[in-house]
Structure 1
């Protein structure tokens, strides 16, 4: 699994064969969601507390996420991203 970050039980992954718009996948327990790098939850559901934490993390790491998206499009390896503390 192409995991790029993990914090507070939240797992963030990106897949090489994903489609536009640029996004990442969030896993939290039995919950799953797609979150746009430039927007909100695209598909799926997460507890409100998790949405807030992911949004805070996204605001801090938007540029790194976009770089990872571009790396995937070029067939390159993902970079890990710092967790929310």
Structure 2
């Protein structure tokens, strides 16, 4: 999560890396803003996005106001 990267994407978002793939997904809905991932990994990330919408938006607010965001558990 890069809270100061608003010039390029203009929305709260997360950056995902998987091997040589990179993607940027909008918070809270998981819309792909840039890049791509293999289909299986994209489905996993989008499931995680769906499960943690409120937490990610809360973390975005905390980080954008200079506070430390909370850790969000990964998919298992």
TM-score w.r.t. length of structure 2: 0.86
Kindly report structure 1 stretches of 4+ aligned residues shifted beyond 2 Å.
none
Q: Distance in 2 between matches of 1:55 and 1:81?
A: 14
Q: Whose strand fraction is larger, Structure 1's or Structure 2's?
A: 1
Which of the pair is proportionally richer in helix?
2
Match of 1:40? 31
Aligned-residue RMSD, C-alpha: 1.1
| Structure 1 unpaired stretches of 5+ | 1-13
**Alignment size in residue pairs:** 72
User: What is the SS of the residue equivalent to 1:68?
Assistant: helix
Residues 23-59 of structure 1 show CA distances to partners (whole Å, capped at 9, x for unaligned) of 1010101111110112411101111111100011011
Q: Which runs of 5 or more structure 2 residues have no equivalent in the other structure?
A: none
